[in-house]
Amino acid sequence: MPVRAQYPAMLDVADRKIVIVGGGQVALRKAHGLLAAGATDICSVAPQHRDEMPPAVKRIVAEFEPGHLEGAGLVFAATDSAEVNDQVVACARQRGIWVNRADFHEEQIGDFTTPAALRQGPLTVAVSAGGSPTLAAKVRDELKNHLDPRWSEMATVMQELRPTILASPKLSRDRSKLLFVELAGDDAMTVLATRGREGFQSWLLERYPELAQG
């Protein structure tokens, strides 16, 4: 059965209660990925948990029950039992909660899959390969050698700079669009890499004096 087409999205998990049903290697991998993405409210439900489960993840030592999904905004069915995963998916669906299923099932499938991710600071590259996680991981690892370190540095700067640009009362919409295009260009990233943050700020104000305060 071919994998259905999926819509790629980046999900903010910082303030979302997340329930991982399972305590083994797959659940551990999900927990690490969620923590790396900024999740702060994660619990793992399982009769046993791997010792390596991060301290930031709350452990609930129990067999899964529907009540464990109370208040959850995201659910991961990550046990080694197809029957339990079936139950988790069904319970999540009944409550309107997005659920990810770690194992494959043609009928009781989850709502989303987790791609192979490559992170460098705020820069995230996600790879999906039509249901083949091994191939996706291979492509991700190959891409790692081709990422320009200047990209992650600019992404870090843009986290602070973008709100300032959008809130500037003196910068027109057309000038803002032009600025964002220029910041993604090679010249801007070279200035940042060679002259540092202060040099980059001076360069930016020379080109866009509207950003100066006062």
88 and 75 in a single domain? The answer is: yes
User: How deeply is 1 buried, as exposed, middle or buried, from its count of CB atoms within 10 A (0-12, 13-18, 19+)?
Assistant: exposed
Ordered per-residue pLDDT tens for the chain, 214 residues: 455 678 888 999 999 999 999 999 999 999 999 999 999 999 999 999 999 999 999 999 999 999 999 999 999 999 999 999 999 999 999 999 999 998 876 666 788 988 899 999 899 999 988 778 899 999 999 999 899 999 999 999 999 999 999 999 999 999 999 999 999 999 999 999 999 999 999 999 999 999 887 5
105 and 142 in a single domain? The answer is: no
37 and 133 in a single domain? The answer is: no
Q: Using the 3D structure, point to which of 97, 114, 131 is the last residue of a domain.
A: 114
133 and 163 in a single domain? The answer is: no
78 and 172 in a single domain? The answer is: no
80 and 123 in a single domain? The answer is: no
176 and 97 in a single domain? The answer is: no
Q: What is the pTM of this model?
A: 0.83
Domain interval for residue 50:
1-114
Q: List Cβ neighbours of 143 (8 Å cut-off, separation of 6 or more).
A: 118, 125, 127
Cβ distance 24 to 44 under 8 Å?
Answer: no
Q: Domain with 35 in it: what CATH number?
A: 3.40.50.720
The Cα 30–Cα 5 span in angstroms is 22
106 and 122 in a single domain? The answer is: no
Q: How many CA atoms lie within 13 A of 156 on its CB side?
A: 13
Provide the number of structural domains found in the chain: 3
5 and 96 in a single domain? The answer is: yes
